[in-house]
Amino acid sequence: MPTRSRAPSLAARPTSRARHPLPALSAIALLALLPSGCSKGGSTVTAPPPPPPPEIVSVYPPPRSVLVDYLTDIWAQFDRKLDPATVNGKTVYLKLDTTRLPAVVSYDSTAQRIHVHSTNPLTLLTTYTIEVSANVRAADGEPFTNGYLWQFTTQSVRHPTNPFPADGGEDSPFVTVNWGGNETTPGPLIYELYAGLDSAAVAARTAPLVYRGPATQVVPQVRWHEFGTNYWSITVENPAQGERYNGPVWRFRTPAASVPVDSVDIANGDFGYMSIIPQRTFCQTGEIITGPNYRSFQGWQLVNLPSPLRFARARWLLSSTVASQDSLAGGVNVYGAFTSPACGFRVSGNPNFVQPLAVGVPEADPRTMRLESDYLTAYLEASVRRGGFLGYFLVSGRVVHFVSAFGNEAAYKPNLRIWTYHITPAPARASSPAAAASGALPIAHRARTRLD
């Protein structure tokens, strides 16, 4: 059987001392040759390396992001806890270009985040820089090496704010709503008004779209929900930037069905008409002539109405002369003016002929037309509470001679009656001695009644 060769034993090997004698070593040198550790494996134990510098693991808003909410939370999150004494406005900066802006810097040790809150609202469509300097240190004392900075650009629209009626308050079912927060930016802004009885549907924008356009106040063409709560919200759109922002859902309630109403007959205001060809103006005459060749208007003294003012209904009766009653078949519409019309040398004002406030409806008397609608009632209320809606233009399909406030037939003079919710007793208004002496009363009649 073959045998395996075996390596020579250590005893049989020649020693290196015998072949290469070493010089004598000192005791200190011998100690230096001894292993530094005493582990059984004979491995060398070295000192632990220094900890790495702290690092940012996440920031918000993301770097180079655009259309960022100008009220956004700004933060930088680290991989370890920091020394709070090194996190302040002298080590962390909010900058516009190279200029440092006022900001409050705070540190959340639980989340390991630095937060930056601008003292002033951020400007729209503006690029900001956040810089975390190298002077920030970790809790273990390690410096933040070379620091870090990033940029983001703000959105192009402001949040809708300051609703009217006030959120949670009570108001008329014909109240004009408005809001603030708008700001001029490149390109026109478009506003959308959503409203309904379901707050979730309004928030989701599945509720009816009541208005879309550039205005920040809306006179409702149809009354708000009566005897309950209305929810509404605004979406602002900047088409030039391709941005839309949905505002919060607000609410207001209308008076309960049990609230009584007062009826008020309104005194006549300035009125007149102008023939277009030839151009002639007639003011405060016994008639108001309307027709295709005429521009005619009627004003009302809508001052000194009771406060708080909450309209419940409005009705305008307009009667023709006997000779013109057959011409009423051509129809009569009333339109609102955005500026105060005055007769004088010409019938002035800025009528809105896009949408009539009301379309005349025949009364039992063949000479009389009733002008009544939700839109007219809301417009009248806005005339008192907002101002600027002070005139009413009359348009008829045929030439009609209407009896004016200075006409000879008292029973056929124009009549505007307004019903208002009697929420609180109207406070007494001080009148001038001259007005008291003359007996001038802007409100000719008031009677407490129920609205039929």
Per-residue pLDDT tens digits for 13-37: 333 333 344 344 444 444 444 454 4
Q: pLDDT at position 214, please? A: 93
What is the Cα–Cα distance from 267 to 416, expressed in whole angstroms? Answer: 8
pLDDT at 202 (0 to 100): 98
Distances (CA, A) of 235 to 104, 139, 186, 191: 31, 46, 18, 6
Q: Are 399 and 329 in contact (CB under 8 A)?
A: no
Q: Give Cβ neighbours of residue 179 (< 8 Å, ≥ 6 apart).
A: 160, 161, 162, 163, 164, 191, 216, 217, 234, 247
**Counting every residue, how long is the chain?**
452
Q: Which fold has domain 56-154?
A: Immunoglobulin-like (2.60.40)
Q: Which residue, 360, 288, 293, is CA-closest to 328?
A: 360
- The structure tokens listed for 23 are 């010089």
- Answer whether 130's CB lies under 8 Å from 72's CB: no
d(C-alpha 425, C-alpha 423), whole Å: 7
Instruction: Render 316-346 in DSSP notation, one character per residue.
Output: EEEEB-GGGGGGGGG-EEEEEESS----TTS
Alpha-carbon 297 to chain mean position? 35
Q: Which two tokens stand for residue 205?
A: 């924008």
Task: Enumerate the domain spans of the chain.
Answer: 56-154, 161-253, 261-424+441-449
* Fold match flag (56-154 vs 161-253): yes
336 CB neighbour count, 10 Å cutoff: 25
CATH topology assigned to domain 161-253? Immunoglobulin-like (2.60.40)
Q: Collect the ranges in the chain with pLDDT lower than 70.
A: 1-43, 338-341, 344-350, 352, 388-390, 424-452
pTM: 0.77
The token duo for 441 is 């009363």
Helix, strand, or coil (residue 30): helix
Provide the terminal-to-terminal Cα distance of the chain, rounded to the nearest Å: 129
pLDDT for the residue 81: 97
> 177-203, pLDDT tens digit by residue?
999 988 777 778 999 999 999 999 999
